[in-house]
Amino acid sequence: MKKIFNKIISHNYFKYSLILTSLIFIYLFFKDNEKIIIIVSEVEYNRIFFLIFFSIFLIFIYAHLTLTCLRKVCGIQINTRQWYLIYFNSQFLSSIPFFGILYRARQLKKFNLNYDKFVGIYILISWFYLFFSLLFISLESYVFFEQAILLNFRLYLIFFVSSILVFLIPFISGFILDRYISYFKIEKNFFISRIQKLIQLFILNVFNFKLVRSFFIIILVIHILEFVVISELIQSLESDINFKKTFYIFFGAQIIDALNLIPQNLIISEIGIGILTDKLDYDFELGVLIKIYMRFVIFFSSILMALLYNVYLRLLNYKYDP
């Protein structure tokens, strides 16, 4: 047990040391780079109220997406106000890696949602989110950039095929694994049985057309809102970026953020979008600032949303101790 604990400590130490080193590197990089100062000095800060408004709406829609999944997939009977309070508070706590998600898991445990199913719910949401996002991007690429070519293939075809693969590979893999477990009768193992239950949960809900329809509508709204927020944010930093390049940055950011390697993809997203803007003939620093500005807007919106919602519930004399 002591060895396992030491391993966890050493792993966390390495991870946070890496994040701290990266933050120091970025700070020194910004400090000595005049382009950053120039871009920041020319920001149209009057757009920030518009960005915060839509960011708050975006957080609310994300909360509704998770609530839909909790009710329709897990059958969790949770009051809407209770859930929004938990979600908004956890968004505020998410400024510290893992705090928000751990807080949310602990609160949902009170409603008989065990931790493995909690993780499964977020995997299910991420799976559908990535599938629909790629599908939407493929349709948008077809409408606006039909002639765009990447690696000798039409761009919209790449995204369309990617969306189909994202959907089919996990589904087929889960189906085969479920049959394998049943065939060899190894479901008596506690760990294996929990995995099988999660797989069956995913497979069953693929054919839950009411759930899929709800996911489609909610994720479409999220997709549109995220484009509005990112496009406004980009225009406030660099007004001469046209619609085509704004769209490239948007779907680049969507794909990068879908591949979470560390909490909130800290540093990785900044570098990824920086490389993307550099390839689009803009400064690398602009891409980094786009992501940092986005983080700031979402963080501020999360704090504001949590405060306003807590005040709202107090005015209603609503009693719940999260």
pLDDT tens figures, 113-136: 888 888 888 888 988 998 999 999
The pLDDT value recorded for residue 64 is: 94
Residue 7: pLDDT band with limits 50, 70, 90: very low
Residues 6+ apart with CB under 8 A from 58: 222, 225, 226, 229, 301
Q: What Å distances lie between residue 35 and 126, 212, 283, 287, CA to CA?
A: 36, 46, 8, 12
The pLDDT value recorded for residue 16 is: 59
Q: Tens digit of pLDDT for each residue in 75-110?
A: 888 889 999 999 998 887 776 767 888 889 999 998
Euclidean distance between the first and the last CA atom of the chain, given in angstroms as a whole number: 32
Q: Tokens standing for 298?
A: 């979402």
The pLDDT value recorded for residue 2 is: 43
Contact 84, 322 (CB under 8 A): no
Residue 284: pLDDT band with limits 50, 70, 90: confident
Contact 288, 270 (CB under 8 A): yes
With pLDDT > 90 as the criterion, what percentage of the chain qualifies? 20
The pLDDT value recorded for residue 319 is: 66
Helix 115-144, helix 155-183: angle, nearest 10 = 150
Mean of pLDDT values over 268-279 = 86
The pLDDT value recorded for residue 29 is: 55
Paired strand residues for 154: 149
The pLDDT value recorded for residue 32 is: 53
pLDDT at 164 over 90: yes
Of 73, 182, 181, the C-alpha closest to 122 is: 73
The pLDDT value recorded for residue 10 is: 47
Paired strand residues for 149: 154
DSSP 3-state of 93: helix
The pLDDT value recorded for residue 4 is: 45
The pLDDT value recorded for residue 5 is: 40
| Higher-pLDDT residue of 203, 225 | 225
Q: Tens digit of pLDDT for each residue in 300-322?
A: 888 888 888 888 888 887 766 55
Q: Give the least confident one: 53-57, 135-139, 239-243.
A: 239-243
Q: Tens digit of pLDDT for each residue in 17-46?
A: 645 665 665 566 555 555 555 555 566 667
Q: What Å distances lie between residue 56 and 177, 193, 263, 307, 309, CA to CA?
A: 40, 40, 21, 12, 11
d(CA 238, CA 295): 17
Q: Dihedrals φ, ψ of 315, to 5°?
A: -65, -30
Question: Taking the model in full, what pTM does it have?
Answer: 0.81
> What value does the mean pLDDT of the chain take?
81
How many CB atoms are located within 10 Å of the residue 97 CB?
A: 16
d(CA 50, CA 110): 37
Residues 6+ apart with CB under 8 A from 55: 229, 297, 298, 301
Contact 234, 246 (CB under 8 A): yes
Report the run of H or E that residue 153 belongs to, with start and end.
Answer: strand 153-154
Q: Burial, 215: exposed, middle or buried (Cβ in 10 Å; 0-12, 13-18, 19+)?
A: buried
Q: What Å distances lie between residue 60 and 65, 87, 91, 305, CA to CA?
A: 9, 9, 11, 9
Of 164, 195, 201, the C-alpha closest to 180 is: 195
Q: Tens digit of pLDDT for each residue in 231-272?
A: 988 888 776 788 888 888 898 888 887 776 666 677 788 888
